[in-house]
Structure 1
Amino acid sequence: METIDIQNTDDQARAWLLHLTSGHATREDGEAFRRWCTESEENAEAFARVRALWDALGSAAALREHARATRERPHGRHGVRMTRRAFVGGALAASVAVVLLGRAGLFTPAATPGGRMLRTRVGEQRSVAVAPGVTVEMNTDTDIALRGQVGAPTGMHLRSGEAVVRIDAGHADAFVVEVADGRLFSGPGAAFAVRCADDAATVTCLDGQAVINRAGTNTVVKPAQQVAFDATGMGDATAVNVDSALAWRHRVLIYDNEPLGDVVADINRYRPGRIVITDSALAARRVHARFTLDQMGEVATLIQDAYGAHATQLPGGWVLLS
C-alpha cells in the first residue's frame, strides 16, 4: 500500500495519536513522542488540538480502526509515515469532530423529531428530571437521546456512557431505555444502571426489576444482579456488589482484581487528556484499587508509585505508562 510523508504538524500529531492508542506502542515510541512534543510549542499545541478532537469523538472508534489496520509507527524527526488510507480517514474523522466541538450546553436538539440530547462532559456528573417521576443520574462523558416529544418523553437511548434511571412508584406510564441493541422495560418503583461503551452494554438493577428485550428474547434483571451483552450475545445474570459497581455516584472508583489496562481505560473517562499504557505486561497486571474523583489529577502518579510503572508526562494531560 502506498505511503506518504506527512509534514503538516496537525497530521503528525494525529499520526502519533493513532499509534500511541493502537496497542503496539513501545517505551521507545513514548520517548520519541515526548521529544517530538518538546521540540517546539507548535508541536505541543498541535497535539493538544488533536487530543481535543479525539475527546469530542467519544470512543473514536474510526480512528482506532485505522490504527489497527495500518499499524504504522511514526518515525523520523521531521516527517511521519502513514498510509494514505489512514491519512484520509483521519482527516474525515477530524472534520466530524469539528462539528461535535460546536455543541454547547447540556441540552441540544436530538436527531429524533421533538427530542433532546443530554450530555455530560469529561469529569462532569449531574442528575436530571427528564419527566415527571423519572430521574436520570448521569455519570461522566455520557450521551443520551430522549425519545418522544419535548415535555413528555417516553424513553431514552443511551448512546454512550453510564447513567442510573429511577422511576417513581407513582409513575404509571411506560419509560423504555435503549442501550446497544437492547431495550429495557421496567415498572413503577424500579431503579437500574445502564452503561454502554464500544457497543458493549451492562444493566445493573438496584430496585424493582428490569427486563431486557434483545433479539426477541427477554432477560429479567433483579436487584443486585447485573447482565452484560454485546454483538456476540447475552451473558447470564450475575450477583454484583451494587455499592462497588456504582461507587461513582459517591465520587469513588473501586476496582477489584481487574486488569490495569481496563482500570486505566475507565479512569480516562473522568479526566482530561489520556493515560496510555505502552507495556502489555503492565496492562495485563491484575490490581485492586480505590480512587476518589478528586484524585484524578494525580492518578497517574499514584499508579506509578503503587505498581512500579514509569510515567512520561506529556502536554494536554497525556501520560505514557510503561
Structure 2
Amino acid sequence: MDESRDLNRDDELFAEANRWFFRMQAEDATAAERAAFARWLAADPRHARVIGEIETLLGALQDPAKASHRAAQARQDLRSSPAGGGRRTMRWLAAGLAAALALFAYVQGPVQLARWNADLLTVAGERASRRLADGTTVELSSDTALKVEISETQRRITLLRGEAFFEVARDPRPLVIQTEAGEVRDIGTGFGVASAGAEVFVTVESGIVDVASRHGETARLTAGQRVAFDSAGIAPVTKADLDGDLAWRRGQVVFRQQRLADVVAILNRHRAGRIVIVNPWIRDLRVSGSFDIDRSASAIEALETVLGVSATRLSPYLVMLR
C-alpha cells in the first residue's frame, strides 16, 4: 500500500471535514446545506470519525492554553519587583489570553464563505492548474479561492483568498484581478497575486501590470518587479525575487529572515490542520530557509533544530510551538 497516498487522502479528508464543520457552525447555514452535510456523514464511517476528532481537538486546546499562561506568569514573577509586579502580571495575563486566543483561532480555519462563493479553489496542501474559457491559465497555490466572471465585454477574477499565478491569453477584453485592497489590471503578461490579510502582493514575471488601490493610487510594474498594496495605498515598487516569491509554483516555500509568526502563517496554508504558536515571546524569532511544501513535517523539525523551539504534536493536524 502507498503510505504517501494514504497520508494525502487523510489530509484531504480532514480538510473536507474541516470545511463542513465550520460551515455548520455558521448562522446562515441553509437547510439544504445541513441536509447535504447529513448525507456526507452517512456516506462513509470515516466522515463521522474525523468530525469527532475535530471536536476533540477543540477541547484539547484548553489545557495547553492555560499551561502557556501559567508558564508566562511564572517567568515574569521571577523578574518582577514588588512595585511593578501587579502591572507586569496584568501584562502577562494579557499575553496568556492572547496565546489562548491564538490557539482557538485555528478553529476558525480559512474563511469558509470565500470557499462557498468560489468558482475555483484549492484546500490546504493542494495546488492546481486550470485553463479558463478565454484561454488564460491559472495556477492556484494552496488554500486559494477565486471567483471567475467572463462576459462579452470583460474578464474579471476576484481573489477571495490565497495566491495564484496568471498566464494571460491575448484578448481585446481587459483582464482585471479584483481584491479587497484594489485591483490588478493585466496588459498581456504572466504575474502572481497573493493576498495576505489586508495586504496584496503582485509579482510580475513577464509583461506589464497596472495596480490601483481602492483610493485611486496607481503603479505600473514591468517584468521582474514586485509591489505590495492595501486599501490605503501602494508601497514603492521593488525588484522581485522571482525564485523566492514564486517558489510555490515548484512546490517550495522560501523564507529570508522572516518572523516565525509569518512563517507559521504561510506553512499553515500548505498543510491540513494548524501549527499554533503558544508562547508569544518566540513569535519574532527570525527564520531563513527553503522547505518543500509537501513535507511540512521537515519544516517543523528544522524550526526545532535551528530556533531551539519545542513542537508538541497533539495529533497529525495540530502542532503547538513553544
* TM bracket, shorter-chain basis: 0.5 to 0.7
Tell me how far apart the structure 1 counterparts of residues 271 and 164 of structure 2 sit (CA, whole Å): 18
The 3-state SS of whatever aligns with 2:304 is helix
Which residue is equivalent to 1:167? 168
| Counterpart in the other structure of 1:26 | 68
Question: What secondary structure does 1:268 align onto?
Answer: helix
SS at match of 1:208: strand
> Is contact 1:125-1:140 (8 Å) kept?
yes
Q: Distance in 2 between matches of 1:212 and 1:100?
A: 23
Residue 127 of structure 2 aligns with an amino acid whose one-letter code is Q
Q: Is the 8 A contact 1:303 1:309 kept in 2?
A: yes
In structure 1, give the amino acid aligned to 2:168.
Answer: I
**Structure 1 unmatched runs, 5+:** 1-8, 31-67, 75-81, 104-109, 111-115
Report the Cα distance in structure 2 between the residues aligned to 1:257 and 1:280, rounded to whole angstroms. Answer: 18
State the shift of 1:248 in Å.
0.7
Corresponding position of 1:202: 201
* 1:128-207 matches, cutoff 5 A: 128-149=130-151, 154-168=155-169, 170-188=170-188, 190-207=189-206
Counterparts of 1:132 and 1:248, CA distance in 2 = 25
Kept after mapping to 1: 8 A contact 2:217/2:234: no
How far off its partner does 1:294 sit?
2.9
Q: Check conservation: 1:255, 1:263, Cα contact below 8 A.
A: yes
Q: Match for residue 277 of structure 2?
A: 277
Aligned runs of 1:28-177 on 2, under 5 Å? 71=97, 110=117, 117-149=119-151, 154-168=155-169, 170-177=170-177
What is the aligned partner in structure 2 of residue 261 from structure 1?
Answer: 261
Over the matched positions of the two proteins, sequence identity in percent amounts to: 26
Secondary structure at the aligned position of 1:203 is classed as: strand
Q: State the secondary structure of the residue aligned to 2:262.
A: helix
Question: Which residue identity lines up with residue 140 of structure 2 in the other structure?
Answer: M
SS in 1 for 2:123: coil
Q: Secondary structure of the residue that 1:303 maps to in structure 2?
A: helix
Q: Could you say if the C-alpha distance between residues 100 and 187 of structure 1 is closer, same or farther in structure 2, counting changes exceeding 3 Å?
A: closer
Task: Tell me the SS of whatever aligns to 1:201.
Answer: strand
Corresponding residue for residue 248 of structure 1: 248
Listed one character per residue, the Cα deviations across residues 280-302 of structure 1 (whole Å, up to 9, x for unaligned) are 33221112111012321343222
Kindly provide the CA deviation profile for residues 105-156 of structure 1, in whole angstroms up to 9, marking residues without a partner as x: xxxxx5xxxxx6111011111111113331111000001011235x997110
Which residue in the other structure is 1:303 paired with? 303
In the other structure, the counterpart of 1:6 is none
Which has the larger helix fraction? 2
Structure 2: tracts of 5 or more residues without a match? 1-52, 73-93
- Over 3 Å counting, the alpha-carbon distance change for 1:137 and 1:280 in structure 2 is same
> Post-superposition shift, 1:242?
0.8
Residue 172 of structure 1: CA displacement?
2.9
Cα-to-partner distance string for 1:10-55 (whole Å, 9 max, x where unaligned): 989657759989xx9827579xxxxxxxxxxxxxxxxxxxxxxxxx
Matched with 1:211 is: 210
TM-score normalised by the chain length of structure 1: 0.65
Alpha-carbon RMSD = 3.8
8 Å CA contact retained: 2:176, 2:183: yes
Residue 314 of structure 1 aligns to a residue whose secondary structure is: strand
Aligned residues: 245
